[in-house]
């Protein structure tokens, strides 16, 4: 055994296996969609609290805060994190000796004399107290590498917990805006029904005056009834969104009722920053990065299989009678020992374990880089969606205004008897379709803004990861 090995044994400071260094990630210098894109914000910018507060909706804020407390998926992730931290403590216990004691008391009797004459018996009690100490020395760092791996795994679990919260919160926000879009659609259809009733009254008056045929009245009535049927159908989808929100907040669907309210008119979003910031701002990327260190440390655990396992043991025992003299020097027994176990041949098992650990680490590296690429894609997608939808919303607003003027002009012409009622129907139908499209665009913009915030990590950073003591 050379001098280096003896130094390792004496200091117990050697750790075989590669030290962790985070591999490079595929990061572009900037986001492609930033050029020519402006961020829509409320007047006083974003609150410095929970990410959803940027929408300035008290009901959304109330619902979002229930997620962390009551969402069952988040509770599963939280329990998994506590389990991961317990595994760190289990690994840390391997650095310390194991001490065990075993007190005993033995009552025995003996017979004196011989033959058939009988004899007296004597009884005696023997007491003993033994203790053992065993200590597996972490000479090659196997236990410390396992602690390093478990610590990284606990941080993976913490990042997974943050990601579960973010996912549930983002899903709730999307469902909430979808629900509010249904509220806005119901309001739009109710206004349309009211307008169609007034139009029906006009055709009825025209028919009674003899200026038009009954066909105009029947056509207007059919149009009104169609709109009323559309209005009735809105409640179906809204209830499903409300039920989904209830489950996300940890409630049975019957326990949560959300009163109708308008859809938000502003579309605030988080500033995207720089692509490299995603490495710190997304919990899934942080989890993938921590998983690399977890697997890297396990390479060292397997490499330690090439080296002997060294352990110390000690035994101490007191045995005697009576109990008051048990701990006298004459009754003491002790021993010390050291063992070293070296695997001579195992059919290449150790080498296979090391190769498997390296392959698992390589897979973790690839998974990390793919997670980064996916994050970049999601941000770019959300940015492009917001940019294009903003342009579409402006164009659609112009179309709504133009069609509204066309409806008014056509209705006046119908009253004057210069155009048939079918012209009015055509413009009214187009106006409703344009308004529904404008509503759908606004809904999509809000959903895209939530997607961007989620893609940027929702305000979370890797500094929020707990420092699990090694």
Neighbours of 393 (CB within 10 A): 16
Region class of 211: left (phi > 0), else alpha (psi between -120 and 50), else beta:
alpha
In which residue are the tokens 């028919």 written? 207
Structure confidence by residue, pLDDT tens digits, 324-354: 565 666 567 888 888 988 888 899 999 999 9
CB-CB contact of 229 with 458 (8 Å)? no
All structural domains of the chain with their residue ranges: 11-95+140-306+348-464, 98-113+121-137+308-341
Pairing label, strands 332-341, 98-111: unpaired
User: What is the pLDDT of the chain when averaged over all its residues?
Assistant: 88
Distance CA 462, CA 178 (A): 31
Better-scored residue on pLDDT, 256 or 47: 256
Distance CA 191, CA 195 (A): 6
Structure confidence by residue, pLDDT tens digits, 278-317: 899 999 999 999 999 999 999 999 999 999 999 999 988 7
CB-CB contact of 133 with 314 (8 Å)? yes
CATH architecture of 98-113+121-137+308-341: Single Sheet (2.20)
Beta bridge partners of 317: 130, 333
Give me 302's structure tokens. Answer: 């397997």
Per-residue confidence band for 210, with pLDDT thresholds at 50, 70 and 90: confident
Share of the chain above pLDDT 90, in %: 67
The mean pLDDT of 176-183, rounded to a whole number, is: 98
Is pLDDT at 114 greater than 90 in this prediction?
no
Is pLDDT at 228 greater than 60 in this prediction?
yes
CB-CB contact of 305 with 416 (8 Å)? no
CA-nearest of 360, 365, 350 to 142 is: 350
Per-residue confidence band for 14, with pLDDT thresholds at 50, 70 and 90: confident
Structure confidence by residue, pLDDT tens digits, 56-75: 999 999 999 999 889 999 99
Is pLDDT at 190 greater than 80 in this prediction?
yes
DSSP string covering 401-413, please? HHHHHHHHHHHHH
Q: Before 76, cis peptide (omega within 30)?
A: no
CB-CB contact of 191 with 407 (8 Å)? no
CATH architecture of 11-95+140-306+348-464: Up-down Bundle (1.20)
């Amino acid at each position: 055994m050379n001098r280096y090995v003896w130094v390792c044994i004496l200091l117990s400071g050697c750790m075989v296996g590669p030290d962790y260094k985070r591999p490079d990630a595929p990061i572009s210098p900037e986001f492609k969609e930033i050029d020519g894109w402006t961020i829509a914000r409320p007047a006083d910018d974003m609150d410095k609290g929970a990410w959803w507060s940027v929408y300035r909706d008290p009901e959304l804020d109330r619902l979002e805060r229930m997620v962390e407390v009551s969402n069952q998926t988040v509770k599963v992730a939280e329990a998994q994190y506590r389990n991961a931290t317990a595994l760190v403590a289990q690994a840390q216990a391997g650095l310390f000796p194991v001490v065990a004691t075993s007190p005993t008391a033995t009552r025995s009797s003996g017979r004196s004399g011989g033959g058939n004459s009988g004899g007296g018996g004597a009884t005696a009690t023997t007491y003993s107290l033994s203790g053992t100490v065993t200590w597996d020395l972490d000479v090659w760092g196997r236990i410390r590498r396992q602690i390093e791996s478990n610590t990284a795994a606990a941080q993976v679990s913490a990042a997974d917990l943050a990601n579960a919260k973010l996912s549930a919160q983002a899903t709730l926000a999307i469902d909430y805006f979808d629900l509010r879009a249904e509220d806005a659609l119901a309001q739009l259809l109710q206004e349309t029904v009211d307008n169609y009733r007034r139009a029906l009254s006009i055709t009825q008056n025209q028919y009674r005056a003899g200026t038009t045929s009954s066909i105009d009245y029947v056509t207007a009535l059919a149009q009104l009834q169609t709109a009323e049927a559309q209005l009735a159908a809105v409640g179906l989808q809204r209830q499903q969104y409300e039920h989904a929100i209830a489950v996300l907040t940890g409630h049975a669907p019957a326990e949560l009722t959300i009163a109708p309210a308008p859809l938000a008119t502003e579309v605030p979003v988080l500033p995207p920053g720089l692509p490299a910031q995603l490495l710190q701002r997304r919990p899934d990327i942080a989890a993938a990065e921590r998983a690399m260190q977890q697997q890297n440390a396990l390479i060292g655990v397997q490499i330690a299989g090439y080296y002997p396992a060294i352990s110390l043991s000690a035994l101490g025992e007191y045995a005697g009678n009576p109990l008051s003299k048990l701990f006298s020097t004459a009754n003491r027994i002790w021993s010390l020992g050291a063992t070293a176990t070296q695997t001579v041949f195992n059919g290449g098992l150790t080498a296979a374990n090391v190769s498997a650990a390296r392959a698992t680490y390589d897979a973790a590296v690839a998974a990390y880089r793919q997670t980064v690429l996916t994050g970049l894609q999601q941000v770019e997608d959300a940015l492009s969606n917001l940019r294009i939808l903003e342009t579409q919303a402006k164009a659609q607003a112009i179309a709504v205004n133009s069609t509204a003027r066309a409806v008014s002009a056509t209705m006046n012409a119908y009253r004057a008897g210069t155009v048939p009622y079918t012209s009015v129907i055509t413009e009214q139908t187009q106006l409703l379709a344009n308004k529904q499209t404008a509503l759908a665009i606004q809904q999509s913009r809000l959903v895209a803004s939530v997607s961007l915030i989620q893609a940027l990590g929702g305000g979370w950073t890797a500094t929020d990861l707990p420092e699990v003591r090694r």
